[in-house]
Structure 1
Amino acid sequence: MNPSERIDAACSFLLQSPPGEINDVLNDVRNIISDDDSLHEGVLPALKEYNLTQFMTVDVPGSDHQAIISEAARVAATQEGQERFIDPRSKTSFLFDHLSLEASDSQPAEPDADSEPFRAALEKAALTYLSAHFHDGVAAVFAAKDSTNKFTLQVVANKYNPANYWAGRWRSEYTIDLNENTVRGKILVNVHYYEQGNVQLSTSHNVSLSLPTAVVTASPSASTSKILALIEDEEGKYQTSLNDTYQEMGEKTFKGLRRALPVTKQKIDWDRALGPYKLGQELASSKGMFGNS
Protein backbone atom coordinates (compact mmCIF):
# COMPACT_ATOMS: atom_id res chain seq x y z
CA MET A 1 0.00 0.00 0.00
CA ASN A 2 1.51 3.34 -1.06
CA PRO A 3 1.47 6.45 1.20
CA SER A 4 -1.55 7.98 -0.57
CA GLU A 5 -3.58 4.80 -0.10
CA ARG A 6 -2.60 4.72 3.57
CA ILE A 7 -3.82 8.28 4.03
CA ASP A 8 -7.12 7.42 2.32
CA ALA A 9 -7.54 4.40 4.58
CA ALA A 10 -6.78 6.51 7.65
CA CYS A 11 -9.38 9.11 6.60
CA SER A 12 -11.98 6.39 6.12
CA PHE A 13 -11.32 5.03 9.61
CA LEU A 14 -11.54 8.51 11.14
CA LEU A 15 -14.88 9.30 9.51
CA GLN A 16 -16.31 6.10 10.98
CA SER A 17 -15.02 6.81 14.49
CA PRO A 18 -17.57 6.05 17.24
CA PRO A 19 -18.60 8.85 19.61
CA GLY A 20 -15.76 10.03 21.83
CA GLU A 21 -13.22 7.67 20.28
CA ILE A 22 -11.70 9.68 17.43
CA ASN A 23 -8.45 10.28 19.35
CA ASP A 24 -8.13 6.54 19.92
CA VAL A 25 -8.68 5.91 16.20
CA LEU A 26 -6.19 8.65 15.29
CA ASN A 27 -3.55 7.08 17.55
CA ASP A 28 -4.20 3.69 15.96
CA VAL A 29 -3.85 4.93 12.37
CA ARG A 30 -0.51 6.51 13.27
CA ASN A 31 0.85 2.97 13.04
CA ILE A 32 -0.41 2.77 9.46
CA ILE A 33 1.19 6.05 8.34
CA SER A 34 4.37 6.06 10.51
CA ASP A 35 4.86 9.74 9.67
CA ASP A 36 3.15 12.27 11.93
CA ASP A 37 3.67 15.24 9.58
CA SER A 38 2.11 13.41 6.63
CA LEU A 39 -0.62 12.04 8.85
CA HIS A 40 -1.69 15.42 10.21
CA GLU A 41 -1.66 17.06 6.79
CA GLY A 42 -3.39 14.17 5.06
CA VAL A 43 -6.20 13.56 7.54
CA LEU A 44 -6.99 17.20 8.39
CA PRO A 45 -9.81 17.39 5.79
CA ALA A 46 -11.35 14.24 7.28
CA LEU A 47 -11.06 15.65 10.80
CA LYS A 48 -12.81 18.84 9.68
CA GLU A 49 -15.62 16.85 8.09
CA TYR A 50 -15.98 14.67 11.18
CA ASN A 51 -16.07 17.61 13.58
CA LEU A 52 -18.65 19.48 11.51
CA THR A 53 -21.01 16.57 10.93
CA GLN A 54 -20.73 15.18 14.46
CA PHE A 55 -21.47 18.57 16.08
CA MET A 56 -18.25 18.57 18.06
CA THR A 57 -18.51 20.76 21.16
CA VAL A 58 -15.89 23.16 22.48
CA ASP A 59 -15.46 25.46 25.47
CA VAL A 60 -16.02 29.06 24.43
CA PRO A 61 -13.21 31.37 25.63
CA GLY A 62 -14.55 33.74 28.26
CA SER A 63 -17.89 31.91 28.62
CA ASP A 64 -19.27 29.29 30.97
CA HIS A 65 -20.91 27.16 28.28
CA GLN A 66 -19.93 25.12 25.24
CA ALA A 67 -20.54 25.89 21.58
CA ILE A 68 -21.30 23.54 18.68
CA ILE A 69 -18.90 23.20 15.75
CA SER A 70 -21.02 22.74 12.63
CA GLU A 71 -21.60 24.05 9.14
CA ALA A 72 -24.24 26.44 10.47
CA ALA A 73 -21.70 27.86 12.95
CA ARG A 74 -18.91 28.40 10.44
CA VAL A 75 -18.60 32.07 9.47
CA ALA A 76 -15.23 32.67 7.81
CA ALA A 77 -11.71 31.45 7.12
CA THR A 78 -8.56 33.45 7.80
CA GLN A 79 -5.77 34.02 5.30
CA GLU A 80 -3.79 31.33 7.10
CA GLY A 81 -6.55 28.82 6.39
CA GLN A 82 -7.90 28.74 9.94
CA GLU A 83 -11.67 28.69 10.39
CA ARG A 84 -13.81 30.95 12.55
CA PHE A 85 -17.05 29.84 14.14
CA ILE A 86 -19.78 31.82 15.84
CA ASP A 87 -21.38 31.27 19.21
CA PRO A 88 -24.63 33.28 19.05
CA ARG A 89 -25.28 32.74 22.74
CA SER A 90 -22.20 34.71 23.83
CA LYS A 91 -22.21 36.88 20.68
CA THR A 92 -18.62 35.96 19.91
CA SER A 93 -16.68 34.25 17.16
CA PHE A 94 -13.52 32.20 17.63
CA LEU A 95 -10.88 30.17 15.88
CA PHE A 96 -11.15 26.38 16.15
CA ASP A 97 -8.31 23.91 15.76
CA HIS A 98 -9.70 20.72 14.26
CA LEU A 99 -6.74 18.69 15.49
CA SER A 100 -6.47 19.84 19.10
CA LEU A 101 -10.24 20.53 19.36
CA GLU A 102 -9.56 23.86 21.08
CA ALA A 103 -11.01 27.35 20.54
CA SER A 104 -9.00 30.57 20.67
CA ASP A 105 -8.97 34.24 19.67
CA SER A 106 -12.49 35.07 20.81
CA GLN A 107 -13.88 38.26 19.27
CA PRO A 108 -17.24 40.10 19.51
CA ALA A 109 -19.78 39.21 16.83
CA GLU A 110 -22.83 41.43 16.55
CA PRO A 111 -26.03 39.61 15.57
CA ASP A 112 -28.45 40.70 12.85
CA ALA A 113 -30.84 43.18 14.46
CA ASP A 114 -33.90 41.93 12.54
CA SER A 115 -33.51 38.23 13.27
CA GLU A 116 -32.08 38.45 16.79
CA PRO A 117 -35.37 38.83 18.77
CA PHE A 118 -36.79 35.55 17.43
CA ARG A 119 -33.40 33.80 17.48
CA ALA A 120 -32.85 34.73 21.13
CA ALA A 121 -36.36 33.57 22.08
CA LEU A 122 -35.81 30.27 20.25
CA GLU A 123 -32.48 29.83 22.03
CA LYS A 124 -34.12 30.41 25.42
CA ALA A 125 -36.83 27.85 24.67
CA ALA A 126 -34.21 25.38 23.40
CA LEU A 127 -32.11 25.71 26.56
CA THR A 128 -35.20 25.09 28.70
CA TYR A 129 -35.94 21.98 26.65
CA LEU A 130 -32.31 20.89 26.92
CA SER A 131 -32.19 21.16 30.70
CA ALA A 132 -35.38 19.13 31.02
CA HIS A 133 -34.44 16.26 28.74
CA PHE A 134 -30.68 15.96 28.26
CA HIS A 135 -27.80 15.45 30.67
CA ASP A 136 -24.78 17.55 29.68
CA GLY A 137 -26.28 18.42 26.32
CA VAL A 138 -25.47 21.48 24.20
CA ALA A 139 -27.92 23.50 22.10
CA ALA A 140 -27.36 26.36 19.69
CA VAL A 141 -29.59 28.48 17.46
CA PHE A 142 -28.23 30.20 14.35
CA ALA A 143 -29.86 32.82 12.16
CA ALA A 144 -29.61 32.05 8.46
CA LYS A 145 -27.09 34.10 6.52
CA ASP A 146 -29.52 34.68 3.63
CA SER A 147 -32.83 35.25 5.43
CA THR A 148 -34.07 37.02 8.55
CA ASN A 149 -36.92 34.51 8.92
CA LYS A 150 -35.00 31.25 8.83
CA PHE A 151 -33.18 29.66 11.77
CA THR A 152 -31.22 26.49 12.52
CA LEU A 153 -31.59 24.74 15.87
CA GLN A 154 -28.99 22.11 16.79
CA VAL A 155 -28.82 19.82 19.81
CA VAL A 156 -26.04 17.38 20.68
CA ALA A 157 -25.67 15.15 23.74
CA ASN A 158 -22.77 12.79 24.38
CA LYS A 159 -22.40 9.98 26.88
CA TYR A 160 -19.03 8.28 27.19
CA ASN A 161 -18.55 5.31 29.49
CA PRO A 162 -15.25 3.63 28.58
CA ALA A 163 -15.13 1.83 31.93
CA ASN A 164 -18.17 -0.14 30.80
CA TYR A 165 -17.18 -0.22 27.11
CA TRP A 166 -19.91 1.90 25.54
CA ALA A 167 -20.44 5.39 24.19
CA GLY A 168 -23.27 7.23 22.48
CA ARG A 169 -24.20 10.47 20.76
CA TRP A 170 -27.58 12.07 20.06
CA ARG A 171 -27.76 14.81 17.42
CA SER A 172 -30.78 16.68 16.16
CA GLU A 173 -30.98 19.58 13.74
CA TYR A 174 -34.01 21.58 12.64
CA THR A 175 -34.54 24.39 10.14
CA ILE A 176 -37.35 26.70 11.19
CA ASP A 177 -38.65 28.68 8.21
CA LEU A 178 -41.16 31.37 9.13
CA ASN A 179 -41.74 32.25 5.48
CA GLU A 180 -42.92 28.73 4.69
CA ASN A 181 -44.34 27.98 8.18
CA THR A 182 -42.33 24.76 8.42
CA VAL A 183 -39.93 22.91 10.68
CA ARG A 184 -37.75 20.39 8.86
CA GLY A 185 -34.88 18.40 10.28
CA LYS A 186 -33.45 15.10 11.36
CA ILE A 187 -32.47 13.10 14.42
CA LEU A 188 -29.27 11.05 14.37
CA VAL A 189 -28.22 8.50 16.98
CA ASN A 190 -24.86 6.70 17.21
CA VAL A 191 -24.01 4.07 19.82
CA HIS A 192 -20.92 1.89 20.22
CA TYR A 193 -20.78 -1.13 22.53
CA TYR A 194 -17.46 -2.97 22.59
CA GLU A 195 -17.25 -5.26 25.61
CA GLN A 196 -16.25 -8.70 24.32
CA GLY A 197 -17.45 -7.69 20.88
CA ASN A 198 -18.08 -4.71 18.63
CA VAL A 199 -21.67 -3.57 18.11
CA GLN A 200 -22.52 -0.24 16.54
CA LEU A 201 -25.86 1.47 15.98
CA SER A 202 -26.25 4.33 13.52
CA THR A 203 -29.77 5.50 12.80
CA SER A 204 -31.54 8.62 11.57
CA HIS A 205 -35.08 9.95 11.45
CA ASN A 206 -36.37 12.79 9.26
CA VAL A 207 -38.80 15.33 10.66
CA SER A 208 -41.21 17.55 8.72
CA LEU A 209 -43.75 19.69 10.55
CA SER A 210 -46.16 22.41 9.49
CA LEU A 211 -46.60 25.43 11.73
CA PRO A 212 -50.09 26.86 12.18
CA THR A 213 -50.36 30.52 11.23
CA ALA A 214 -51.29 31.34 14.82
CA VAL A 215 -47.92 30.01 15.98
CA VAL A 216 -45.92 32.03 13.45
CA THR A 217 -47.80 35.27 14.14
CA ALA A 218 -47.61 34.97 17.93
CA SER A 219 -45.00 36.75 20.03
CA PRO A 220 -41.46 35.31 19.77
CA SER A 221 -41.75 33.82 23.25
CA ALA A 222 -45.09 32.10 22.62
CA SER A 223 -44.13 31.02 19.12
CA THR A 224 -40.81 29.44 20.08
CA SER A 225 -42.33 27.64 23.08
CA LYS A 226 -44.87 26.02 20.77
CA ILE A 227 -42.18 25.07 18.26
CA LEU A 228 -40.14 23.34 20.96
CA ALA A 229 -43.26 21.55 22.18
CA LEU A 230 -43.74 20.15 18.66
CA ILE A 231 -40.09 19.06 18.52
CA GLU A 232 -40.38 17.50 21.98
CA ASP A 233 -43.38 15.46 20.84
CA GLU A 234 -41.59 14.31 17.68
CA GLU A 235 -38.42 13.28 19.52
CA GLY A 236 -40.45 11.52 22.19
CA LYS A 237 -42.25 9.43 19.56
CA TYR A 238 -38.99 8.53 17.88
CA GLN A 239 -37.47 7.50 21.18
CA THR A 240 -40.45 5.27 21.88
CA SER A 241 -40.08 3.66 18.45
CA LEU A 242 -36.42 2.91 19.20
CA ASN A 243 -37.40 1.30 22.47
CA ASP A 244 -40.04 -0.85 20.77
CA THR A 245 -37.59 -1.91 18.07
CA TYR A 246 -34.98 -3.04 20.57
CA GLN A 247 -37.59 -4.85 22.61
CA GLU A 248 -38.63 -6.83 19.54
CA MET A 249 -35.03 -7.50 18.55
CA GLY A 250 -34.21 -8.86 21.99
CA GLU A 251 -37.28 -11.03 22.30
CA LYS A 252 -37.70 -12.27 18.72
CA THR A 253 -35.08 -11.41 16.09
CA PHE A 254 -31.89 -12.53 17.80
CA LYS A 255 -33.40 -15.53 19.53
CA GLY A 256 -34.72 -16.63 16.14
CA LEU A 257 -31.14 -16.97 14.90
CA ARG A 258 -30.11 -19.53 17.52
CA ARG A 259 -29.43 -23.22 17.03
CA ALA A 260 -31.27 -25.73 19.15
CA LEU A 261 -27.89 -26.54 20.70
CA PRO A 262 -24.58 -24.79 19.91
CA VAL A 263 -21.25 -26.53 19.43
CA THR A 264 -20.81 -26.76 23.19
CA LYS A 265 -24.00 -28.87 23.39
CA GLN A 266 -25.26 -26.47 26.03
CA LYS A 267 -28.25 -24.18 25.71
CA ILE A 268 -27.42 -20.53 25.17
CA ASP A 269 -27.80 -18.21 28.14
CA TRP A 270 -29.73 -15.47 26.37
CA ASP A 271 -29.63 -13.12 29.35
CA ARG A 272 -25.88 -12.90 28.85
CA ALA A 273 -25.84 -13.09 25.06
CA LEU A 274 -28.27 -10.21 24.68
CA GLY A 275 -26.20 -7.85 26.82
CA PRO A 276 -25.08 -5.63 23.90
CA TYR A 277 -28.64 -5.21 22.67
CA LYS A 278 -29.93 -4.17 26.07
CA LEU A 279 -27.78 -1.09 25.58
CA GLY A 280 -30.17 -0.02 22.86
CA GLN A 281 -33.00 -0.20 25.34
CA GLU A 282 -30.98 2.08 27.64
CA LEU A 283 -30.55 4.51 24.78
CA ALA A 284 -34.28 4.84 24.31
CA SER A 285 -35.18 4.95 27.97
CA SER A 286 -36.11 8.28 29.48
CA LYS A 287 -32.94 8.67 31.55
CA GLY A 288 -30.78 6.03 29.89
CA MET A 289 -27.85 7.54 28.02
CA PHE A 290 -28.69 11.10 27.18
CA GLY A 291 -31.47 11.92 29.65
CA ASN A 292 -34.06 12.54 26.91
CA SER A 293 -37.67 11.86 27.85
Structure 2
Amino acid sequence: MDQNERIQAVSNFLLQSPPGEINDVLNDVRNIIADDDALQDGILPSLREYNIQQFTTVSVPGTEHQSIISEAARVPDIDTDEGRFLDPRSKTSFVFDHLTLEASDSQPYEIDEQHEPLREALQNASLTYLTGHFHDGTVSIFAPAGPSEEFIMQVVANKYNPTNFWSGRWRSEYAIDLAEKKVKGRILVNVHYYEQGNVQLETKHNISFNIPPTVASAVPATAATKILALIAEEEGKYQVSLNETYTEMSEKTFKGLRRALPLTRQKLDWDKVTGYKLGAELSSSKGLFGGSS
Protein backbone atom coordinates (compact mmCIF):
# COMPACT_ATOMS: atom_id res chain seq x y z
CA MET A 1 0.00 0.00 0.00
CA ASP A 2 1.51 3.34 -1.05
CA GLN A 3 1.35 6.62 0.90
CA ASN A 4 -1.76 7.91 -0.85
CA GLU A 5 -3.65 4.70 -0.17
CA ARG A 6 -2.66 4.81 3.49
CA ILE A 7 -3.83 8.42 3.80
CA GLN A 8 -7.14 7.50 2.17
CA ALA A 9 -7.55 4.63 4.63
CA VAL A 10 -6.82 6.95 7.55
CA SER A 11 -9.31 9.51 6.19
CA ASN A 12 -12.02 6.84 6.07
CA PHE A 13 -11.30 5.90 9.68
CA LEU A 14 -11.59 9.54 10.74
CA LEU A 15 -14.96 10.01 9.04
CA GLN A 16 -16.29 7.05 11.07
CA SER A 17 -14.96 8.36 14.39
CA PRO A 18 -17.46 8.05 17.28
CA PRO A 19 -18.55 11.23 19.09
CA GLY A 20 -15.68 12.93 20.91
CA GLU A 21 -13.14 10.30 19.89
CA ILE A 22 -11.64 11.66 16.68
CA ASN A 23 -8.38 12.62 18.42
CA ASP A 24 -8.09 9.08 19.82
CA VAL A 25 -8.62 7.67 16.33
CA LEU A 26 -6.08 10.08 14.88
CA ASN A 27 -3.45 9.13 17.46
CA ASP A 28 -4.08 5.45 16.82
CA VAL A 29 -3.57 5.73 13.05
CA ARG A 30 -0.54 8.04 13.06
CA ASN A 31 1.79 5.05 12.81
CA ILE A 32 0.16 4.05 9.52
CA ILE A 33 1.57 7.18 7.88
CA ALA A 34 4.67 7.79 10.02
CA ASP A 35 4.91 11.32 8.58
CA ASP A 36 2.97 13.97 10.50
CA ASP A 37 3.30 16.65 7.81
CA ALA A 38 1.95 14.35 5.10
CA LEU A 39 -0.74 13.13 7.47
CA GLN A 40 -1.89 16.65 8.31
CA ASP A 41 -2.12 17.71 4.66
CA GLY A 42 -3.76 14.47 3.60
CA ILE A 43 -6.51 14.33 6.22
CA LEU A 44 -7.49 18.01 6.20
CA PRO A 45 -10.33 17.51 3.65
CA SER A 46 -11.74 14.69 5.78
CA LEU A 47 -11.49 16.80 8.92
CA ARG A 48 -13.44 19.57 7.19
CA GLU A 49 -16.11 17.10 6.14
CA TYR A 50 -16.27 15.54 9.61
CA ASN A 51 -16.53 18.85 11.47
CA ILE A 52 -19.28 20.13 9.17
CA GLN A 53 -21.28 16.89 9.24
CA GLN A 54 -20.99 16.44 13.00
CA PHE A 55 -21.91 20.04 13.90
CA THR A 56 -18.63 20.63 15.69
CA THR A 57 -18.92 23.49 18.17
CA VAL A 58 -16.41 26.27 18.77
CA SER A 59 -16.04 29.22 21.11
CA VAL A 60 -16.07 32.40 19.05
CA PRO A 61 -13.69 35.16 20.19
CA GLY A 62 -15.56 37.94 21.98
CA THR A 63 -18.60 35.81 22.85
CA GLU A 64 -19.63 33.72 25.85
CA HIS A 65 -21.37 30.99 23.89
CA GLN A 66 -20.46 28.35 21.35
CA SER A 67 -21.34 28.30 17.68
CA ILE A 68 -21.99 25.40 15.31
CA ILE A 69 -19.77 24.58 12.35
CA SER A 70 -22.05 23.40 9.54
CA GLU A 71 -22.93 23.86 5.91
CA ALA A 72 -25.63 26.37 6.88
CA ALA A 73 -23.03 28.38 8.82
CA ARG A 74 -20.57 28.58 5.95
CA VAL A 75 -20.11 32.11 4.63
CA PRO A 76 -20.26 31.92 0.81
CA ASP A 77 -17.69 33.32 -1.60
CA ILE A 78 -14.88 33.23 0.95
CA ASP A 79 -11.65 31.66 -0.30
CA THR A 80 -9.59 30.54 2.70
CA ASP A 81 -7.96 27.22 3.52
CA GLU A 82 -9.96 26.83 6.72
CA GLY A 83 -13.19 28.55 5.69
CA ARG A 84 -15.18 31.40 7.22
CA PHE A 85 -18.32 30.66 9.21
CA LEU A 86 -21.17 32.67 10.67
CA ASP A 87 -22.25 32.94 14.28
CA PRO A 88 -25.74 34.43 13.82
CA ARG A 89 -26.25 34.91 17.54
CA SER A 90 -23.40 37.41 17.85
CA LYS A 91 -23.69 38.58 14.23
CA THR A 92 -20.03 37.85 13.55
CA SER A 93 -18.10 35.73 11.09
CA PHE A 94 -14.86 33.93 11.89
CA VAL A 95 -12.19 31.67 10.45
CA PHE A 96 -12.28 28.10 11.73
CA ASP A 97 -9.22 25.86 11.79
CA HIS A 98 -10.40 22.29 11.21
CA LEU A 99 -7.22 20.83 12.68
CA THR A 100 -6.92 22.81 15.92
CA LEU A 101 -10.71 23.35 16.22
CA GLU A 102 -10.15 27.02 17.05
CA ALA A 103 -11.87 30.17 15.78
CA SER A 104 -10.01 33.36 14.90
CA ASP A 105 -10.30 36.63 12.99
CA SER A 106 -13.77 37.45 14.28
CA GLN A 107 -15.46 40.21 12.25
CA PRO A 108 -18.89 41.89 12.29
CA TYR A 109 -21.33 40.37 9.82
CA GLU A 110 -24.02 42.33 8.01
CA ILE A 111 -27.37 40.73 8.75
CA ASP A 112 -30.60 40.66 6.77
CA GLU A 113 -32.81 43.16 8.63
CA GLN A 114 -35.96 41.81 6.97
CA HIS A 115 -35.60 38.33 8.51
CA GLU A 116 -33.87 39.26 11.76
CA PRO A 117 -37.00 39.73 13.97
CA LEU A 118 -38.18 36.17 13.36
CA ARG A 119 -34.66 34.74 13.37
CA GLU A 120 -33.97 36.33 16.75
CA ALA A 121 -37.34 35.17 18.10
CA LEU A 122 -36.56 31.60 17.00
CA GLN A 123 -33.12 31.92 18.59
CA ASN A 124 -34.60 32.99 21.94
CA ALA A 125 -37.27 30.29 21.88
CA SER A 126 -34.73 27.62 20.93
CA LEU A 127 -32.42 28.63 23.78
CA THR A 128 -35.30 28.19 26.21
CA TYR A 129 -36.09 24.83 24.63
CA LEU A 130 -32.45 23.80 24.87
CA THR A 131 -32.27 24.58 28.58
CA GLY A 132 -35.35 22.50 29.30
CA HIS A 133 -34.48 19.42 27.24
CA PHE A 134 -30.70 19.04 26.98
CA HIS A 135 -28.00 18.72 29.63
CA ASP A 136 -25.46 20.52 27.51
CA GLY A 137 -26.31 21.70 24.02
CA THR A 138 -25.72 24.37 21.39
CA VAL A 139 -28.21 25.85 18.95
CA SER A 140 -27.91 28.17 15.97
CA ILE A 141 -30.67 29.78 13.90
CA PHE A 142 -29.80 30.92 10.38
CA ALA A 143 -31.87 33.37 8.32
CA PRO A 144 -32.94 32.43 4.78
CA ALA A 145 -30.22 32.68 2.15
CA GLY A 146 -30.74 33.46 -1.51
CA PRO A 147 -34.25 32.81 -2.87
CA SER A 148 -35.08 30.42 -0.01
CA GLU A 149 -37.55 31.43 2.70
CA GLU A 150 -36.42 28.71 5.09
CA PHE A 151 -34.98 29.50 8.49
CA ILE A 152 -32.51 26.78 9.51
CA MET A 153 -32.41 25.59 13.12
CA GLN A 154 -29.53 23.34 14.18
CA VAL A 155 -29.02 21.70 17.56
CA VAL A 156 -26.12 19.59 18.79
CA ALA A 157 -25.66 18.05 22.23
CA ASN A 158 -22.68 15.93 23.25
CA LYS A 159 -22.16 13.66 26.23
CA TYR A 160 -18.73 12.12 26.69
CA ASN A 161 -18.02 9.65 29.49
CA PRO A 162 -14.69 7.93 28.72
CA THR A 163 -14.35 6.80 32.35
CA ASN A 164 -17.34 4.55 31.80
CA PHE A 165 -16.48 3.79 28.16
CA TRP A 166 -19.31 5.52 26.33
CA SER A 167 -20.01 8.67 24.34
CA GLY A 168 -22.98 10.10 22.48
CA ARG A 169 -24.13 12.90 20.22
CA TRP A 170 -27.56 14.26 19.33
CA ARG A 171 -27.95 16.38 16.20
CA SER A 172 -31.15 17.84 14.86
CA GLU A 173 -31.76 20.19 11.97
CA TYR A 174 -34.99 21.86 10.83
CA ALA A 175 -35.99 23.98 7.84
CA ILE A 176 -38.77 26.30 9.00
CA ASP A 177 -40.78 27.92 6.21
CA LEU A 178 -43.62 30.16 7.37
CA ALA A 179 -44.57 31.06 3.81
CA GLU A 180 -45.24 27.40 3.02
CA LYS A 181 -46.38 26.74 6.62
CA LYS A 182 -44.09 23.72 6.78
CA VAL A 183 -41.29 22.34 8.96
CA LYS A 184 -38.98 19.63 7.63
CA GLY A 185 -36.17 18.19 9.67
CA ARG A 186 -34.07 15.28 10.75
CA ILE A 187 -32.67 13.87 13.97
CA LEU A 188 -29.36 12.01 14.06
CA VAL A 189 -28.19 10.11 17.13
CA ASN A 190 -24.79 8.45 17.59
CA VAL A 191 -23.88 6.42 20.67
CA HIS A 192 -20.71 4.40 21.26
CA TYR A 193 -20.21 1.79 23.99
CA TYR A 194 -16.75 0.28 24.19
CA GLU A 195 -16.29 -1.43 27.54
CA GLN A 196 -14.86 -4.88 26.73
CA GLY A 197 -16.29 -4.57 23.25
CA ASN A 198 -17.30 -2.11 20.56
CA VAL A 199 -20.96 -1.33 19.91
CA GLN A 200 -22.21 1.71 18.02
CA LEU A 201 -25.74 2.96 17.52
CA GLU A 202 -26.39 5.31 14.60
CA THR A 203 -29.92 6.44 13.81
CA LYS A 204 -31.58 8.93 11.48
CA HIS A 205 -35.18 10.04 11.80
CA ASN A 206 -36.94 12.41 9.38
CA ILE A 207 -39.63 14.79 10.62
CA SER A 208 -42.19 16.79 8.66
CA PHE A 209 -45.24 18.68 9.91
CA ASN A 210 -47.43 21.62 9.00
CA ILE A 211 -47.47 24.95 10.81
CA PRO A 212 -51.04 26.00 11.68
CA PRO A 213 -52.07 29.17 9.83
CA THR A 214 -52.71 31.01 13.10
CA VAL A 215 -49.12 30.30 14.15
CA ALA A 216 -47.61 31.27 10.81
CA SER A 217 -49.40 34.63 10.89
CA ALA A 218 -48.64 35.41 14.55
CA VAL A 219 -46.09 37.95 15.72
CA PRO A 220 -42.51 36.59 15.69
CA ALA A 221 -42.24 35.87 19.44
CA THR A 222 -45.53 33.94 19.53
CA ALA A 223 -44.85 32.09 16.29
CA ALA A 224 -41.38 31.07 17.44
CA THR A 225 -42.61 29.78 20.81
CA LYS A 226 -45.36 27.68 19.24
CA ILE A 227 -43.08 26.29 16.53
CA LEU A 228 -40.56 25.19 19.16
CA ALA A 229 -43.41 23.56 21.09
CA LEU A 230 -44.30 21.55 17.98
CA ILE A 231 -40.65 20.55 17.50
CA ALA A 232 -40.43 19.53 21.16
CA GLU A 233 -43.50 17.32 20.71
CA GLU A 234 -41.98 15.56 17.69
CA GLU A 235 -38.64 15.06 19.38
CA GLY A 236 -40.38 13.76 22.47
CA LYS A 237 -42.14 11.10 20.38
CA TYR A 238 -38.83 10.05 18.90
CA GLN A 239 -37.21 9.86 22.32
CA VAL A 240 -39.98 7.53 23.48
CA SER A 241 -39.51 5.36 20.37
CA LEU A 242 -35.78 5.12 21.09
CA ASN A 243 -36.47 4.01 24.65
CA GLU A 244 -38.87 1.35 23.38
CA THR A 245 -36.24 0.17 20.89
CA TYR A 246 -33.64 -0.15 23.63
CA THR A 247 -36.07 -2.24 25.68
CA GLU A 248 -36.86 -4.44 22.67
CA MET A 249 -33.16 -4.98 21.95
CA SER A 250 -32.37 -5.79 25.57
CA GLU A 251 -35.25 -8.22 26.12
CA LYS A 252 -35.44 -9.90 22.71
CA THR A 253 -32.79 -9.07 20.12
CA PHE A 254 -29.68 -9.54 22.24
CA LYS A 255 -31.15 -12.58 23.96
CA GLY A 256 -31.70 -14.11 20.55
CA LEU A 257 -27.95 -13.99 19.97
CA ARG A 258 -27.28 -16.16 23.03
CA ARG A 259 -28.05 -19.83 23.63
CA ALA A 260 -31.00 -20.40 25.88
CA LEU A 261 -29.25 -23.46 27.32
CA PRO A 262 -25.62 -24.60 27.55
CA LEU A 263 -24.42 -27.48 25.40
CA THR A 264 -25.62 -29.95 28.04
CA ARG A 265 -29.20 -28.77 27.28
CA GLN A 266 -29.74 -28.62 31.04
CA LYS A 267 -30.78 -25.53 32.97
CA LEU A 268 -28.59 -24.41 35.82
CA ASP A 269 -30.14 -25.08 39.23
CA TRP A 270 -29.36 -21.78 40.94
CA ASP A 271 -30.66 -22.98 44.29
CA LYS A 272 -28.15 -25.82 44.21
CA VAL A 273 -25.25 -23.57 43.24
CA THR A 274 -24.88 -22.31 46.81
CA GLY A 275 -24.16 -25.88 47.89
CA TYR A 276 -21.43 -26.57 45.34
CA LYS A 277 -17.88 -26.99 46.57
CA LEU A 278 -15.43 -25.13 44.39
CA GLY A 279 -12.86 -27.90 43.97
CA ALA A 280 -15.15 -30.88 44.04
CA GLU A 281 -18.78 -30.93 43.00
CA LEU A 282 -18.57 -27.81 40.81
CA SER A 283 -15.50 -29.02 38.93
CA SER A 284 -16.97 -32.49 38.53
CA SER A 285 -20.00 -31.04 36.77
CA LYS A 286 -17.99 -30.86 33.58
CA GLY A 287 -19.86 -29.31 30.74
CA LEU A 288 -22.36 -27.50 32.92
CA PHE A 289 -21.04 -24.09 31.90
CA GLY A 290 -19.03 -25.18 28.90
CA GLY A 291 -20.05 -23.90 25.53
CA SER A 292 -22.39 -21.15 26.70
CA SER A 293 -21.90 -17.90 24.87
Provide the TM-score with structure 2 as the length reference. Answer: 0.88
| Distance of 2:21 and 2:128 partners within structure 1 | 29
Q: Deviation at 1:257?
A: 2.3
Structure 1's 261 and 93: CA in aligned 2 closer, same or farther, altered over 3 A? same
Considering only CA atoms, is the larger Rg found in Structure 1 or Structure 2? 2
Alignment of 1:150 with 2:150, yes or no, is: yes
- Aligned residue pairs total 270
Equivalence map 1:13-24=2 (5 Å): 13-24=13-24
Check the 8 A contact 2:82/2:98 in 1, yes or no.
no
CA RMSD of aligned residues (A): 1.8
Check the 8 A contact 1:77/1:83 in 2, yes or no.
no
Q: 1:72 corresponds to which letter in structure 2? A: A
Q: 2:157 corresponds to which letter in structure 1? A: A
Which of 266, 277, 281 is the aligned partner of 2:289? 266
Structure 1's 80 and 254: CA in aligned 2 closer, same or farther, altered over 3 A? closer
| Distance of 1:207 and 1:231 partners within structure 2 | 9
Match in the other structure for 2:218:
218
Which SS does the other structure have where 2:75 is aligned? Answer: strand
Q: 1:154 corresponds to which letter in structure 2? A: Q
Structure 1's 258 and 80: CA in aligned 2 closer, same or farther, altered over 3 A? closer
Which SS does the other structure have where 1:100 is aligned? Answer: coil
Q: Deviation at 1:213?
A: 1.2
| Distance of 2:129 and 2:79 partners within structure 1 | 39
Check the 8 A contact 1:88/1:140 in 2, yes or no.
yes
Provide the TM-score with structure 1 as the length reference. Answer: 0.88
Check the 8 A contact 1:76/1:83 in 2, yes or no.
no
Percent identity over paired residues:
63
| Distance of 1:55 and 1:102 partners within structure 2 | 14
| Distance of 2:233 and 2:159 partners within structure 1 | 22
Deviations 1:265-291 (A, max 9, x none): 33999xxx9xxxxxxxxxxxxxxxxxx
Check the 8 A contact 2:130/2:138 in 1, yes or no.
yes
| Distance of 1:267 and 1:113 partners within structure 2 | 73
Q: 2:289 corresponds to which letter in structure 1? A: Q
Q: 2:288 corresponds to which letter in structure 1? A: K
Deviations 1:26-80 (A, max 9, x none): 1111111111111111111100000000000001101110000000001046544
Structure 1's 171 and 3: CA in aligned 2 closer, same or farther, altered over 3 A? same
Structure 1's 16 and 221: CA in aligned 2 closer, same or farther, altered over 3 A? same
Q: Deviation at 1:149?
A: 3.2
Match in the other structure for 1:284:
none
Larger deviation, residues 189-198 vs 29-38: 29-38
Check the 8 A contact 1:14/1:25 in 2, yes or no.
yes
| Distance of 1:267 and 1:249 partners within structure 2 | 26
Match in the other structure for 1:201:
201
